[in-house]
Chain A
Amino acid sequence: MTRLRLVLWAGLLAAPLPVSAHSSVAGIGHFYNGFLHPLFVPAHLMLLLALSLCLGQQNNRLAEAGFAFYTAGLAAGLLLAGFALVPGEPTALLLLAMLSGLLVALGRPLARPLCLALAVAAGLALGLDSVHESLSGNDKWMFLCGCGLGVLFFSLYPLLLADKAKAALWMKTGVRVAGSWIAAAALLVLALAYAGTAGQLSGMPAVAPESRLTPPFQTGLALA
């Protein structure tokens, strides 16, 4: 019988599986799902990164003012989304990501009005697109609160990184390269969206039929 137990234990030990009790989404509640939401939606992540890098490249006073405008825009967007007053527009996210990415790639100081307008527009677009249709009542507001804090929290890292990157040429170039990658990816998907729209308008399939099965702005994970 001891031998049997040994074989049993050996069999179980030889084939362990990863524990999946702590999924990044399942079972963590609406607040934390909202908090992680910007990380799981590529378009949000791209805009968040591009805008934060762009703010980080500016002088400290403009970066602070830009972050304040970004926060205000985000709060307004989340409130409008929460009360279902204005629908989110994924194209706007990508347009702003492309614009911010291009500005990061240029690596030049921005005019104050342009920087502040970009910050408030990015915040607004992120907020408006953060609502989850399947939620209502307190769950929805918990999700939106988490989203707002998550966006701000995850924006601080690239912002500080870009600020510190001013110290060395290779670091500044790294930030500019990241900006150009974001702009390039956003531009491609915008082109795909345009091609799809052009096809619908003309009645001709402008893109391959498969692409219409999946929206180009496919967002990330369903809520647990």
Chain B
Amino acid sequence: MKKRSLIIFTLCLMLVQGVAFAHDETGLAGGFISGFLHPVLGWDHVVAMLAVGLWGAFLGNPAIWLLPVVFPLVMAFGGVLGVIGVPLPAVETGIAASAVVLGLMVALAVRPQLWLAALIVAVFAVFHGHAHGTELPSAASPLAYSIGFVLATGLMHLCGIALGLTVRWPAGRVAVRGGGALIALAGVGFLTGAV
């Protein structure tokens, strides 16, 4: 009886088995997911995006609200360079350097003129965009990939801004500047290949 029950139970489980996901999603879903995960899974992208948001908080109005509007557009410009095959020297070094520079800006609470801050961020945005752009042609669905990676980048950026808004409290200010120092350190790790 026990054996019979076991056989029936096993048969039941075999009948109601789920679908095996041995392969990645393709089409729209695959394109969107790979695009969304591309910046999220790259620590160099993550820390730089967070740093931009954190720095925006130190810069105050209107920079804090201007950067998330301008950044995706400049990044897309970098992406266009990548897509059409315009070579950009030392892309990975530029991305790692962005973490160092932006992290230091946050750690030292540097407040340059708005145009200079925008220029620094824009230069690094081109490097990040170029790296995403070179991946675009091999995406399952380039449009869904683009939407995914722009969304992910923007959300990380907003996450940095949300964290940065804590600078209004003394403890938050210390935490944000400490975060900036960690980001700069991580950038040094990316540059030297230690991370």
Chain A residues within 8 Å of B, Cβ to Cβ: 3-4, 7-8, 10-12, 14-17, 42-43, 46, 94, 102, 105, 169-170, 173, 176-177, 179-181, 183-189, 191-192, 194-195, 198, 206-208, 210-211, 214, 216-218, 220
Contact = CB atoms under 8 A, between A and B. Distances in A.
Contacts of B1: 3-4
B8 A180 contact: no
Contacts of B138: 208, 210-211
12 contacts: A4-B1, A11-B8, A11-B9, A11-B12, A16-B16, A42-B144, A46-B147, A105-B69, A187-B76, A191-B133, A214-B141, A214-B142
A191 B133 CA distance: 10
Nearest to A94: B143
B80 A188 contact: yes
Contacts of A15: 12-13, 16-17
A188 B83 contact: yes
B154 to A, nearest CB: 5
A186 B5 CA distance: 58
A169 B62 CA distance: 11
Interface in B1-33: 1, 4-5, 8-9, 12-13, 16-18, 27-28, 31
A42 B143 contact: yes
B70 interface: yes
B172 interface: no
Interface of B: 1, 4-5, 8-9, 12-13, 16-18, 27-28, 31, 65, 68-73, 75-77, 79-80, 83-85, 133, 136-144, 146-147, 150-151, 154, 158
B85 A206 contact: yes
B79 A188 contact: yes
Nearest to B77: A187
Contacts of A102: 73
A188 B146 contact: yes
A53 B58 CA distance: 30
For B69, B77, B133, which residue has the most chain A Cβ atoms within 10 angstroms?
B69
Greatest chain A CB density within 10 A among B17, B28, B146, B151 is at B146
B72 A191 contact: no
Contacts of A173: 65, 68-69
A95 to B, nearest CB: 13
Contacts of A187: 73, 76-77, 79-80
B76 A183 contact: yes
A189 B158 CA distance: 24
A208 B69 CA distance: 30
Pairs of residues from A and B, 6 with the lowest C-beta to C-beta distance, nearest first: A11-B12, A184-B76, A211-B137, A191-B80, A207-B137, A184-B72
Nearest to A198: B84
A17 B16 contact: yes
Contacts of B139: 211
A218 B141 contact: yes
A187 B18 CA distance: 40
Given A195-B83, A195-B85, A208-B137, A189 B69 contact: no
Contact of A3 (B5, B154, B158): B5
B70 A216 contact: no
A192 B73 contact: no
Contacts of A7: 5, 8-9
A102 B70 CA distance: 10
B137 A220 contact: no
Given A180-B73, A183-B73, A194-B84, A216 B16 contact: no
Nearest to B65: A173
